[in-house]
Amino acid sequence: MRVAAVILAAGESRRMGQPKQAMVFGTSTLLRLAAEAAGDAGCQSVFVVVGAGRDSLASEVFGMDVQVVENPEWRQGMGTSIRCGVEAVAATEHGDQGVLLMVADQPLVDSQALRRLMDAAKTGEHRIVAAEYAGTTGVPAWFARSMFSTLLALSPAKGAQGIIRDPRFNAYSVAIPEAELDIDTPEDYRRALLTLPFAKESVLDGFGKSNLKGKSAGVCGYRHCDRVGGQLGNAS
């Protein structure tokens, strides 16, 4: 079964104060992690939908086997990004049997989590297979090709959750507790960094205070720690 991944990365990250998709997590950035997870999970093609910060985000995935799709209407809402991504998938000649909708701010959703979704999709028994976490269902979520027209008809301000929850489509849910951690604010980012090996809570708690801005040695033990420190300071 051919599956295309569409990573929604067009938002402006207002609550973060900077493009969160390009923020460092471990040895990579949030956007690259999402693209790598999709590829490693077996998606034959990966599309990244960009809008705000399009040039910097395109550079984040430079050299990867992904296709960057620009959404000029990103300000109107997530529905426009979903439409752009699904249109790009539908326009290919590969005949993908479904699309895996993802976001770039769930860093714990790795290839193993995505494979659990896709294994359920491969049974051919469902039109939608969605992640279940924290008492809700949402993305990442797989949609059969028969759902493309429904996704394309989304109003600009709507995401896919309304479709997932619509009883007409009888979405199947798979437990993906990794999806519960998403990053919208500086505090979310700090909490996410604490999931990394060698993270030091005492050091992370200091970021954002004037005496520690830009001082990041020893935060996570990864090669990007200097960049992490700067981002935490800038996001405060």
175 and 230 share one domain = no
Q: In this structure, are 171 and 224 located in the same domain?
A: no
> Would you mind telling me the total number of residues written for the chain in this entry?
236
Question: Looking at 19-28, 50-59, 162-171, which range is the least confident one?
Answer: 50-59
pLDDT tens across 43-102, in order?
999 999 999 888 889 888 999 999 999 999 999 999 999 999 999 999 987 767 899 999
**Calpha distance 122→152 (Å, rounded):** 23
**68 and 44, same structural domain?**
yes
DSSP strands (E only) in the chain:
3-9, 24-25, 28-29, 45-50, 67-70, 98-103, 128-133, 136-144, 172-175
Average pLDDT of the chain, as a whole number: 86
- 199-210 mean pLDDT: 48
Specify whether 108 is located in the same domain as 166: yes
Average confidence (pLDDT) over 187-210: 69
Q: What is d(CA 63, CA 177) in angstroms, rounded to the nearest whole number?
A: 31
By residue range, what is the domain housing residue 199? 186-235
Number of domains in the chain: 2
pLDDT at 206: 47
* Residues 83 and 174 reside in one and the same domain: yes
Four-residue CA torsion sign, 182, 183, 185, 187: positive
Q: Which residue has the higher pLDDT, 2 or 218?
A: 2
What is the structure's pLDDT at 121? 95
Q: CB–CB of 183/192 below 8 Å?
A: yes
- Residue 126 sits in the same domain as residue 230: no
The reported pTM is: 0.86
State the sign of the Cα–Cα–Cα–Cα dihedral 17, 60, 42, 79: positive
Same domain (yes/no): 78, 175: yes
Q: Are residues 44 and 15 in the same domain?
A: yes
> Among the three residues 180, 196, 214, which one is the final residue of a domain in this structure?
180
φ, ψ (nearest 5 deg) of residue 37: -60, -40
Average pLDDT over residues 3-13: 94
Same domain assignment for residues 95 and 171: yes
- For 26: left if phi > 0, alpha if psi spans -120 to 50, otherwise beta; the answer is left
CATH at 88: 3.90.550.10
> Across the strands, what pairs with 29?
24
Residues 125 and 200 both lie in one domain? no
Task: Between 226 and 136, name the one with better pLDDT.
Answer: 136
The whole-number pLDDT of residue 229 equals 47
As given in the structure block, the two tokens for residue 127 are 């039109």
Domain boundary among 133, 157, 180: 180
**Statement to judge: residues 201 and 171 lie in one domain:** no
Same domain, 173 and 199: no
For residue 225, pLDDT beyond 90: no
